[in-house]
Structure 1
């Protein structure tokens, strides 16, 4: 029978070792190497995310994962201190300030990329 009880999401990266270092060491997400070179991220909610290698990987053209935070500016400062660039958009579609924070299009949000070019965000959703 279909159920969403054990559903999970996943996305591709070009280099699994880079991904393990970025998600585990840089972002501090618990990462486990699974069979066939697949990573399993365990988010604070307990949700699991599968990260799989794809040699001909092309980054998604949309945000693949969002991190809901209490203070976007503090999260951006923390990411920047970890070496993560949050100023990735500078155009009319996504106007952002010097830190890469969009403050005028809904909730405050800042985007950043993983080493494979996938887009992630920190935002104040709640």
Structure 2
């Protein structure tokens, strides 16, 4: 039934202009704004062509989960680039992270399909984004 329809994920932000600048300028994604006035919203186009719908919400609360995951070949290079662009990496007490905020599972721990390394940062609205190296 839904295998032939268009589908996309979505999340809210508290400031659409800040989100557009963050996702378009800082992360380099294609951002398409649509609507006017109170009905402004935007789509992010991810590598590979998938789209994500982002909408403003007056009483926005940041998602309690990771809203986007970006796979990279070299997490250290990606984290360094994000740090240079002003990103701040999150640290969670249940994960041991290095000085940059990268969590690197022990030898053999990622062979079950999990990432070889992962780091989390937030957008201006407080939504969590991950950058991960899978190989």
> Normalized against structure 1, the TM-score is what?
0.92
Other-structure match for 1:124: 133
User: 2: distance between equivalents of 1:2 and 1:22?
Assistant: 32
Other-structure match for 2:43: 40
Superposition deviation, residue 4 in structure 1: 5.3
User: 1: distance between equivalents of 2:61 and 2:121?
Assistant: 16
Superposition deviation, residue 62 in structure 1: 1.0
Other-structure match for 1:95: 96
User: 1: distance between equivalents of 2:92 and 2:63?
Assistant: 18
RMSD: 1.4
Structure 2 segments unaligned to the other structure (5+ residues): none
Q: Which of 121, 127, 130 is residue 112 of structure 1 equivalent to?
A: 121
Other-structure match for 1:21: 21
Other-structure match for 1:6: 6
Matched residues, number: 124
Larger radius of gyration: 2
Runs of 4+ in structure 1 deviating by more than 3 angstroms, as ranges, are none
User: 2: distance between equivalents of 1:18 and 1:75?
Assistant: 22
Structure 1 segments unaligned to the other structure (5+ residues): none
Superposition deviation, residue 6 in structure 1: 1.3
> Normalized against structure 2, the TM-score is what?
0.86
Other-structure match for 2:75: 72
